[in-house]
């Protein structure tokens, strides 16, 4: 058993918003082993994208951070110059909307080979050859011809394959994938996920996979972490997340989703709306105001993430609620 | 094609844009109080159908009748246009762009009530409060501008505003697709309640098969502008017959799901 490749410990991030500092992440801790896929699931404002940005050192100007992020034992905050460039090659990011992250007036080939040429000093001809080979691996036909095309000539699904190919070209050890298939059609999503999943395994890459879709995360990640109001509230083996959750929010999220297999008389909606970290009531469990299992103690202290039954839960009542957090109703 | 109790009848509907056929001979009916899903992905023609039903696009051929009256040609007069508004209303995916940013929920609802019913202020105020109550907007939310509301709250305003015209048919064009799961469940429950209490019919346009299962009785599956499968929603989803429906069904993540490469990708450009 090897040590973690990525280790985030007690990460707290505050951002300036109209003159005041607002907490967006609060005590986020997670670890990813080499080759492991960890899902990061949450609703709007839960902090899942901000976590990826903090890991990739892409936080907005003026952000205040606490806690540590270690990659392969190195403190990411202390990296500079050559070391930071090397880190950016080892950690590759794939975004939700490829069109917003690719220069529309530059050809696919220039985009794909840029990092190879600029950061790794690979000669242009060799870089293009490697890019063409990568296109075949991500399932884009037409190889060298594609390298001469512009982004607008490719569909969304094709462009996302190009983004995945470009991310893999620099030989990263960790992929940060932020809702990479959310903007795609369902059938295209399945195909792009297949590409991502196959190549990740083939190259032995670790992955942090960010999504709002609990089922998608559970299907392709080894473990899944669930975020709420800037905190991780549960980490669980994906296979057990859906049927045996450790936190009331995970159970509520799974139960609120309509079921493709049957019509429910009523969906079990969660009252209220998801909160951002800065809106969460201070000094208590952030989910307590919406939680069907909240007790007096839940409103008196912020619960910590504790080990439980092979996973972790940030619920003060997690132990006594074991088995009571049923997801499916009859 | 006339069917007893049908509130919406679409027959042989076609829409061509130049050489491109977006909608190709589509027919369906929706009974009063019924709920039909139009399932498809981008480019399937589902939104073009919605736009033709509400009158934003004109069919190349085919007929659309709501409440027994033809609406495949543009309304000639203001009265006709308003009557059509009382027959069919639509709620879009993104309430950011469909609500007037300078109008509170109450003002937005009031405008529709004045236009369609011509009631005096007192009666409008009472009805606006009822509608806001129906969709679960609290006192503060009723009087703030859309930018101060969350996505789910804005979508409630859009639904209340559409219902103010007392339409017989409500078209829901991906109306819950952009909502967080916990909010989506609230809005889906709300839509079920509204259908029970008002007898309105729904046409749900969606790519989300679980949402389709929850809200509709009948479904048609569109592929490249054509209906490839139709039937009771449960049957279409549990026992799909057409290859495309099967592939759609197999693409939905679920416990134990493994994504597969289904076909060699060949499409070269965005349609």
Distance CA A213, CA A253 (A): 10
Query: Who wins on pLDDT, A4 or B3?
Result: A4
Q: Return d(Cα A281, Cα A275) in angstroms, integer.
A: 9
Contact A293, A317 (CB under 8 A): yes
Least CA distance to A43: which residue of chain B? B180
Of B151, B254, B264, the CB nearest to A141: B264
**Residue-averaged pLDDT of chain A:** 92
- A274 interaction partners in chain B (CB closer than 8 Å): 180, 182-183
Chain B residues in contact with A224 by the CB 8 A cut-off are: none
Position B267 in a domain:
no
B11, part of any domain: yes
- How does residue B270 score in pLDDT terms, banded at 50, 70 and 90? very low
Domain with residue B72: its CATH number is 3.40.50.300
Domains in chain A: ranges and CATH? 6-221 (3.40.50.300), 248-313 (no CATH)
Residues of B within 8 A of A185 (CB-CB) are 41-42, 207
Phi first, then psi: give them for residue B231, nearest 5 degrees. 160, -175
Which residue in B43, B180, B205 has the most chain A C-beta atoms within 10 A of its own C-beta, making it the best mutation to test that interface? B180
Residue A134: CA count within 13 A, CB half-sphere: 25
Supply the pTM of this predicted model: 0.90
Average pLDDT over every residue of A217-224: 94
pLDDT tens for each residue of A89-106: 899 999 888 888 889 999
Residues in chain A closer than 8 A to B181 (CB atoms)? 43, 212, 214, 253, 256-257
| Option in B150, B189, B257 nearest A269 (CB) | B189
Looking at this predicted complex, what is its ipTM?
0.90
Count structural domains, chain B.
1
Angle between helices A248-256 and B181-198 (to 10 degrees): 40
Write the pLDDT tens digit of every residue in B126-162: 999 999 988 888 888 999 999 888 888 888 999 999 9
Percent of chain B with pLDDT strictly greater than 70: 94
Q: Are β-strands A37-41 and B201-206 bridged in parallel, bridged antiparallel, or unpaired?
A: unpaired
Tell me whether residues A256 and B253 touch, CB distance under 8 A.
no
| Domain membership flag for residue B200 | yes
Considering the domain boundaries, does residue B268 fall inside one? no
pLDDT mean over A33-62: 94
| Per-residue pLDDT tens digits for B27-72 | 999 999 999 999 999 889 999 999 999 999 999 999 999 999 999 8
Answer yes or no: is B151 within a domain: no
Domain assignment of residue B196, given as a range = 6-100+168-250
Place B232 in a pLDDT band, splitting at 50, 70 and 90: very high
Res A327 pLDDT > 80: no
Q: How far is B271 from chain A (nearest CA, A)?
A: 8
């Amino acid at each position: 058993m090897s040590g973690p490749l990525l280790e985030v410990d007690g990460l707290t991030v505050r951002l300036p918003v109209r003159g005041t500092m607002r907490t967006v992440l609060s005590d986020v801790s997670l670890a990813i082993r080499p080759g492991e896929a960890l899902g990061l699931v949450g609703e709007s404002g839960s902090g899942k994208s901000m976590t990826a940005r903090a890991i990739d050192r892409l936080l907005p100007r003026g952000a205040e951070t606490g806690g540590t992020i270690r990659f392969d034992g190195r403190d990411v905050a202390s990296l500079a110059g050559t070391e930071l460039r090397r880190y950016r090659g080892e950690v590759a990011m794939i975004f939700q909307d490829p069109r917003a992250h690719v220069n529309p007036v530059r050809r696919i080939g220039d985009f794909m080979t840029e990092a190879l040429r600029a950061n790794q000093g690979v000669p242009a001809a060799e870089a293009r050859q490697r890019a063409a080979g990568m296109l075949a691996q991500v399932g884009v036909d037409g190889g060298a011809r594609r390298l001469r095309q512009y982004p607008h000539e490719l569909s969304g699904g094709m462009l996302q394959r190009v983004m995945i190919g470009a991310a893999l070209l620099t030989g990263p050890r960790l992929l940060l994938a932020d809702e990479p298939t959310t903007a795609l059609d369902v059938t295209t999503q399945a195909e792009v996920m297949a590409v991502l999943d196959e190549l990740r395994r083939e190259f032995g890459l670790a992955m942090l996979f960010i999504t709002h879709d609990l089922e998608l995360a559970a299907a392709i990640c080894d473990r899944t972490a669930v975020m709420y109001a800037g905190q991780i509230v549960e980490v669980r083996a994906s296979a057990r997340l859906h049927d045996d959750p450790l936190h009331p929010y995970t159970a509520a999220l799974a139960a609120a989703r309509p079921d493709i297999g049957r019509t429910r008389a009523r969906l079990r909606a969660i009252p209220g709306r998801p909160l951002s970290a800065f809106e969460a009531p201070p000094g208590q469990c952030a989910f307590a105001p919406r939680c069907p299992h909240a007790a007096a103690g839940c409103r008196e202290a912020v619960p910590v993430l504790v080990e439980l039954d092979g996973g972790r839960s940030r619920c003060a009542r997690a132990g006594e609620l074991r088995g009571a957090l049923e997801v499916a109703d009859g | 094609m006339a069917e007893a109790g049908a509130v919406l009848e679409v027959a042989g509907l076609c829409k061509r844009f130049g050489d491109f056929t977006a909608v190709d001979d589509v027919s369906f009916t929706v009974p009063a109080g019924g709920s039909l899903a139009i399932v498809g992905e981008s480019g399937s023609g589902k939104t073009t159908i919605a736009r033709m039903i509400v009158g934003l696009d004109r069919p190349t051929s085919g007929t659309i009748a709501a409440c027994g009256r033809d609406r495949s040609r543009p309304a000639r007069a203001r009265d006709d246009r308003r009557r059509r508004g009382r027959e069919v209303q639509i709620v879009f995916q993104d309430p950011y762009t469909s609500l007037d940013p300078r109008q509170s929920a109450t003002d937005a609802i009031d405008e529709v009530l004045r236009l369609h019913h011509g009631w005096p202020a007192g009666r409008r105020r009472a009805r606006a409060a009822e509608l806001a109550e129906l969709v679960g907007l609290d006192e503060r939310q009723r009087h703030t501008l859309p930018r101060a509301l969350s996505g789910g709250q804005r979508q409630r305003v859009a639904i209340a505003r559409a219902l103010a015209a007392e339409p017989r048919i409500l078209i829901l064009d991906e109306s819950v697709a952009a909502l967080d799961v916990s909010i989506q469940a609230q809005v889906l429950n709300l839509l079920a309640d509204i259908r029970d209490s008002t007898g309105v019919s729904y046409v749900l346009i969606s790519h989300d098969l679980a949402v389709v299962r929850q809200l509709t009785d009948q479904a048609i599956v569109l592929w490249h502008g054509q209906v490839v499968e139709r039937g009771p929603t449960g049957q279409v989803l549990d026992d799909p017959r057409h290859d495309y429906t099967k592939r759609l069904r197999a693409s939905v993540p679920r416990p134990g799901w493994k994504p597969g490469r289904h076909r060699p990708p060949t499409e070269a450009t965005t349609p």
